Amino acid sequence: MPCPEPVEGLHETARFHYPSWRRGGSRVAAHDARTAARSCAAYRHDDAARRKRERFIGAFARESNAGLIVLPGVFTFVHHKVIIAMAARHHLPAVYPYRYHTTDSGLISYGVETVDLYRRAAGYVDRILKGEKPADLPVQAPTKFELVINLKTAKALGLTVQQGLLARADEVIE
């Protein structure tokens, strides 16, 4: 089944990340994204680097049918409001990894449901406190994911979100 376009006419994407995430568990996501997206690596936090990122996003936004994929990481967590504001300033639709991005005016988020992760972690803590060895516990992958769409942001960007995607959303912010 082909992947639906989240926003009508969106054809080009760029990804925004901090390079150290490649050393973590996101290696598979990086491989998939690398084939489909240009990259803006956020190596430094100084003014020159901020201006460079702003120029990259501005130039990319001037292309027709462009969108931004913000990958999870410490940098994008700490600076999520700046990234959301930059995307809005350049009228660039963006997909974010966590729900808090869309509640802070991001367009769309799709990622793991963090509350479920914490709930499941509590089960591990309980088992360890009851004497099980951590090395004997099975590794678990996330099982719950959530799609959140902010229609206020879509309207501000002048975008129409497809009805099929709205129907699949776990939450729609109006």
Provide mean pLDDT across the span 90-100: 91
**Which residue shows structure tokens 């990319």?**
60
Residue 19: pLDDT band (50, 70, 90) is low
pLDDT confidence of residue 60: 76
The pLDDT of residue 26: 39
Which residues have C-beta within 8 Å of that of residue 35, sequence separation ≥ 6? none
Name 108's bridge partners: 95, 149
**32: in domain:** yes
Q: Is residue 7 domain-resident? A: no
pLDDT attached to residue 76: 80
CA distance 151 to 140: 33
pLDDT average, residue stretch 139-146: 91
CA pair distance 59, 24, nearest whole angstrom:
29
Query: Could you tell me which residue, 73 or 120, shows the higher pLDDT?
Result: 120
C-alpha dist (Å) from residue 141 to 114, 115, 120, 123, 144 = 12, 14, 10, 14, 9
Instruction: Provide the total of helices (H) and of strands (E) in the chain, helices listed first.
Output: 8, 7
Number of separate domains in the chain? 1
Residues 6+ apart with CB under 8 A from 165: 4, 6, 147, 149
Interatomic CA distance for residues 148 and 145, integer angstroms: 10
In a domain, 77, yes or no: yes
Question: Is residue 107 in a domain?
Answer: yes
In a domain? residue 37: yes
The pLDDT assigned to 144 comes to 93
CATH number of domain containing 104: 3.40.50.2300
Comparing 2 with 120, which gets the higher pLDDT? 120
Q: What are the start-end ranges of the H helices in 19-161?
A: 27-36, 47-61, 74-78, 80-89, 99-103, 114-129, 151-157
75 pLDDT tier (thresholds 50, 70, 90) = confident
| Residue pLDDT, tens place only, 25-71 | 433 343 344 444 444 444 445 567 677 777 777 777 777 677 888 88
Give phi and psi for 126, each to the nearest 5.
-60, -45
Domain containing 46 equals 12-173
In a domain, 1, yes or no: no
Q: Is 99 contained in some domain?
A: yes
Cα separation, 11 vs 167, in Å, equals: 22
Residue 2 is assigned to a structural domain of this protein: no
* β-strands 12-17, 37-41 pairing: parallel
pLDDT in tens, 96-139: 999 999 999 999 999 999 899 999 999 999 999 999 999 999 98
Select, from the ranges 86-90, 135-139, 147-151, the one with the highest average predicted confidence (pLDDT): 147-151
